[in-house]
Amino acid sequence: MKYLFITLLFFSNTILSDYSQHPEAQDVIKTLVTEHGFDESYVNNILQTAKKQERILESMSSPAEFTWTWDRYKKLFLEEKRITNGKKFIKDNSKLFDRVEDDFGVPREIITSILGVETRYGKIKGSYRVLDSLATLGFDFPRRSRFFQSELVQFFILARENNLDINSVQGSYAGAMGYGQFISSSYRAYAIDYDGDGYADLFNSVPDAIASIANYLKKHGWKRDGAIIQKVVLNKVNKTYNHQSNLTKYIPLQFTEGIEEEYIIRKGDSLSSIAINHDLKLQQLMALNNIKDQNIIKTGQTILLTKPKDLYFIGDDNFIAITKYNRSHFYAKAVYDLSLEFK
């Protein structure tokens, strides 16, 4: 029983599946063989090695961008170490960024912010085999199976074009790779060789990674010196939003801040001391928590320290360009906010 338990534990997140026999795999195999010249036995052998990863399915079912609050999400990225390392990354690559900004018109702060959010400037590029990720999502994630089957086809082609070992390439749970976490189709379409070695290497080349992100954003509508996001105030009828003359698109945005600032009252606390320690006025704290008598509180009681506040913005063309990198508005706003810390 001991050995059985260990075996079950080992395979709890990794399940062996012969994806070459999956009903929908035949379309993938046919596409690779008839349209892209792959040997059928080679494709079958590779798909047989792909492993179903339950953790990937769990992660895809509850992505942070769409399940977390804005407060929780932004705190993940706007933390001191990420900011400090981002400033160092910009300093270490200042001459490279001069070239990239001149060639593509994308600020170094935005590029660095994307790298910081995606991989902590290349330190965490993903630990899943891309083959496992794309096979799992292509054949066991019905909601987006067609998309990931297409990416699986692109991954086969990418590996062949770039002489990559298809069985060992690692990336995110969604199959994104390298410094900037490009999916296979984006890698093939937007990755560029910027260090002049004849190969667009997003795994190891900082110049290629930086320039490829800039190229991606430019191809998706980034405007040199254009606006990204502008804060607006509702119900100010005497003010209207005047967009830039070269602006083609903009989107309304709403973010709620302050909803996760809670405090559990400890022994010896008083409401006035809590207010002082958190830079609040006593009356403000009492009103926020509907407390009539400041002396009637108890240990273990949870109180709010800040009032939820809705903030409104207009996302301009360049904000929309960032959403082409990741469609979440949380993601694009976090990238923008982090970029401000580098200026």
Q: Is the separation of the CB atoms in 60 and 26 below 8 Å?
A: no
pLDDT of residue 65: 81
Residue where the block lists tokens 């892209």:
36
Catalogue the active-site residues.
118
Residue 177 pLDDT exceeds 70: yes
Which residues does 304 contact at the CB level (< 8 Å), separation at least 6?
Answer: 261, 262, 263, 288, 289
User: Any idea which fold 262-305 has?
Assistant: Membrane-bound Lytic Murein Transglycosylase D; Chain A (3.10.350)
pLDDT of residue 243: 52
Mean pLDDT for all residues in the chain: 90
Return the minimum-mean-pLDDT range out of 46-50, 238-242, 301-305.
238-242
pLDDT of residue 257: 82
Mean pLDDT, range 122-147, rounded to an integer: 97
How does strand 302-304 pair with strand 262-264? antiparallel
The correct answer on CATH 3.30.420.40 for the domain covering 2-64+122-215 is: no
Ranges in the chain annotated CATH 1.10.8.350: 2-64+122-215
Tokens of 284: 């403000």
Residue 3 pLDDT exceeds 80: no
46-98 pLDDT, tens per residue? 999 999 999 999 999 888 887 788 988 999 999 999 999 999 999 999 999 99
| pTM: predicted TM-score of the whole model, two decimal places | 0.81
pLDDT band at residue 139 using 50, 70 and 90 as cut-offs: very high
Give Cα separations from 115 to 72, 82, 162, 178, 210 (angstroms): 20, 10, 22, 10, 8
Ranges in the chain annotated CATH 3.10.350.10: 262-305
309-326 pLDDT, tens per residue? 889 999 999 999 999 999
252-283 pLDDT, tens per residue? 999 988 766 789 999 999 999 999 988 788 98
Which residues does 197 contact at the CB level (< 8 Å), separation at least 6?
Answer: 205
Q: Is the separation of the CB atoms in 300 and 264 below 8 Å?
A: yes
